[in-house]
Amino acid sequence: MRLSALFTLSTIYGALGVSLPTKRATICNGHAELCTRPYGNTTFLGSHDSYAFSSDPLALARDQEVDIPTQLGLGVRFLQAEGHLNDGVLHFCHTSCLLFDGGTVVDYLTTVKTWLDANPNEVLTLLFTNSDGLSIPDVWEPTFVAAGIDTVSYVPPNNPMTRSDWPTLGEMIDSGKRVITFMDAGADGTDGAPVDYILPEFTMLWEPPFDSTEPSFPCSVDRIAGPLSTVDHLNMLNHNLDINVLDTGVLVSDPEDASTTNGVASILADANGCAPLAGGVAPNFVMLDFVNIGAGLQAVDELNGFSS
């Protein structure tokens, strides 16, 4: 009886050219509350130089200890990475591919897509840097297509989007378009024709200074662009502390201090320091080195209003 009723209903819907209401996600990014929370009002845990992972303590150019699936398993939902060409192929490398080569971008994005397919109720943000000015349509986009990330990428209705324009996590998950990609340079049309799901970062997301050597993370608006006001931009914490090696000006991350830097007290203090610039609200992204150390997810849960 119920089956035939459903069949009739779907036949009527079909005849009217509308599809049956699809099943709604009830848990989004691990929390029921986040299904109705707009993307612009959510805090996500982020990984700085996510591809630059190594368990070798002598690998000074590493900023992470654990690989991408492990980072995602720890609750990371914002992956930052730096693109460079190596022998004509797009790789993620730290400053130069001679210093640290994290492999091809296609392999990286394929790993991410495998995780997305296994975790359909998760919204993920990518922040890639393009300091060599590589073509967005000719060099970057083919890697998204090869990995299938284009098929799950969110295309915003406005560009730029204000912080309050973004849909809820539930809407993104229900639509299947749950990957948001920002690019620091070139996505505004300066490096080839724009690709509609590779979004210019600074017109929508402002950054405080990066590579701080001050554990107090003094906050200021360091990089921003476009017509939107600061409070209409998303915002992030560059909460990764560097040490200046023997005062040479060479900055490296320090796993020794990560348990303090990635502790709840340090992260919440940084968030409070940036809040006056962000209209009094929490940051959208908390980006850390060594995400497997400390209590990054706990701090993010608290910023989202969950006690853990």
Ligand X SMILES: *[C@@H]1O[C@H](CO)[C@@H](O)[C@H](O)[C@H]1NC(C)=O
Half-sphere exposure of 37 (CA within 13 A, CB side): 19
In the chain, where do the E strands start and end? 44-47, 76-86, 89-93, 101-104, 124-129, 179-183, 198-200, 205-206, 234-238, 242-244, 251-253, 285-288
Nearer to ligand X, 33 or 107 (CB): 33
Q: How far is CA 239 from CA 45, 213, 289, in A?
A: 11, 10, 8
Q: What is the smallest separation between the CB atom of 236 and ligand X, expressed in angstroms? A: 10
* Catalytic residue, candidates 48, 84, 233, 239: 48
Is 48 in the active site? Answer: yes
Q: How far is the CB of 308 from ligand X (least distance, A)?
A: 17
**Number of C-beta neighbours around residue 33 at 10 A:** 15
Q: What angle do CA 261, 109, 120 make, to 5 degrees?
A: 85
Amino acid at 233: H
Local structure of 129: helix, strand or coil: strand
Cα–Cα dist 52/67, whole Å = 9
Instruction: Name which of 42 and 71 has its Cβ closer to ligand X.
Output: 42
Provide, rounded to whole angstroms, the least separation between the CB of residue 303 and ligand X. 7
**d(Cα 121, Cα 174) in Å, to the nearest integer?**
8
Minimum CB separation from ligand X for residue 120, in Å? 23
Dist. CA 142–CA 148, nearest whole Å: 10
Residue 18 neighbours by CB under 8 Å, 6+ apart: none
Helix axes 264-274, 296-303, angle to 10 degrees: 40
- Map residue 213 onto helix, strand or coil: coil
Q: Are 254 and 215 in contact (CB under 8 A)?
A: no
**Catalytic-role residue among 84, 91, 94, 233:** 94
Residue type at 46 in one-letter notation? G
Q: Which residues bind ligand X (CB under 6 A)?
A: 41-43, 281-282, 284
Catalytic residue check, 91? no
Active site residues: 48, 94
